[in-house]
Homo-oligomer: A and B are copies of this chain.
Amino acid sequence: MAVGQCNFPEMLDVAGIQLGTACAAIKQTVRDDILVIQMSEHSACAAVFTQNAFCAAPVHVAKANLAQAPRWLVINSGNANAGTGAQGMQDALTSCISLAVIAGCAANQVLPFSTGVIGQPLPVEKIKAALPAAINNLSPGNWDKAAKAIMTTDTFPKGVSKVISVEGKSITINGISKGAGMIQPNMATMLGFIATDANIKQHLLQECLAQAVEQSFNRITVDGDTSTNDACVLMATGCSAAPEITRHSENYPIFADAVMTVCKQLAEAIVRDGEGATKLMRIAVEQSLNDEEAVRVGKTIAHSPLVKTAFFASDPNWGRILAAVGRSGVENMDLDKVQIFLDDVCIVKDGGRANTYTEEAGQQVMNQEEITVTVKLGRGDACQEILTCDFSYDYVRINAEYRT
């Protein structure tokens, strides 16, 4: 079950990028669960990683190898290789070495990523055995297969493809992501892999990615849990005929904006696929003193199980939204100045239920699949938006049955 239209789009090729998948039968035997991505020589590669203190073994290795001019990514689903101790580190390194041997590169030019169950040993021999097939399948057109291979509890593959024109030459930006639960990314999403043929230096690419992630993946939440394996990678091959994107060129904002759009669309797709989700909620917090405060209020609403179950029931129980704003920890809030809207229906004003509010009007909005909750704090000019989904029986079912 997912909210809205979630078809996988037509993806253009990104010059300099090839993708190959294979089935290593890590958790399931019926689908590909290994993905390798090859970048052409001289590519720049940026990445952001989870802020969970106990990050998984592959995250440690990928962080270390990011400075070594990466040429390959190796990704598996079905097992997170997290909470696996010294053996987990060894297994992550073994994945890199195995790929490097076949590909003829240095092992530290490979970035490893894993997603799936935490705390079980990575079946690295299965990965080793499947790598030749994945490399054999390398093709620039495998974006759909790639998006499927990295899925865990996702119900649909997530992809975005975008072209911008820079001085008459085209630059393509493709992205895929996965994630449906354990979603409150903190500096990165579950897994996101974005590639472009733009020509751009690594340090600028890193800056561009960090900004885009902050406003996209770091503004979504499904259940408030931050994974041990979150990572988002942005690869730039430089194979486009367009001129180099430099910091002070007119093209930088165009490029950065396109990367931001791709990240936002991938992030939104994760929320649409939130475990058990039946509704997409945009929590827009306006008139706050600063961005931090707006994010704090927005996330408190977005994390409230009481708010999320009320939305599941299509119940305009705005008292729960008000209570969440009140417990968000913002100092000196004045209830009399707070206004709350469901879409454009004002529900709270002057310290209580708005005079103009009717249950019928609130109910009409709540019956929709996509709802914007706007909270105006009456304190300043800052605003931020958090995306989240509702909390249903299926969320409980999916997470109760996850390991069975």
Contacts and interface: CB of A to CB of B under 8 A. Distances in A.
Interface of A: 51-55, 80, 82-88, 117-120, 181-182, 184, 186, 223-228, 303-306, 309-310, 312-313, 315, 317-320, 322-328, 330, 333, 335, 338, 348, 350-353, 391-393, 395-397, 399-404
Contacts of A226: 323, 326-327
A396 B395 CA distance: 9
17 contacts: A52-B327, A53-B335, A80-B319, A83-B319, A83-B323, A83-B351, A84-B352, A119-B319, A228-B326, A305-B391, A306-B399, A309-B395, A310-B402, A312-B396, A313-B400, A315-B402, A317-B402
A312 B396 CA distance: 9
Q: How many copies does the complex hold?
A: 2
A396 B399 contact: no
A186 B327 CA distance: 9
Contacts of A228: 322-323, 326
Contacts of A392: 396
Nearest to A85: B352
A140 B186 CA distance: 55
Contacts of A325: 53-54
A182 B342 CA distance: 22
Contact of A224 (B304, B351, B391): B304
Given A53-B328, A306-B399, 14 more contacts: A53-B325, A53-B330, A54-B325, A54-B335, A83-B318, A84-B351, A86-B351, A117-B319, A118-B319, A224-B305, A228-B322, A228-B323, A305-B305, A313-B404
B391 A353 contact: no
Which of A184, A186, A324 has the largest count of B CB atoms less than 10 A from its CB? A324
A167 to B, nearest CB: 44
A350 B186 CA distance: 26
Nearest to A335: B54
A348 B186 CA distance: 24
A378 to B, nearest CB: 13
Which of A80, A310, A400 has the largest count of B CB atoms less than 10 A from its CB? A400
B323 A52 contact: yes
3 residue pairs, one from A and one from B, having the closest CB atoms? A118-B319, A85-B352, A54-B326
Given A304-B224, A352-B87, A353-B84, A326 B52 contact: yes
Contact of A396 (B309, B319, B402): B309
A310 B53 contact: no
Given A53-B326, A395-B305, A396-B393, A83 B353 contact: yes
B309 A352 contact: no
A353 B223 CA distance: 25
A82 B310 contact: no
Contact of A352 (B88, B313, B330): B88
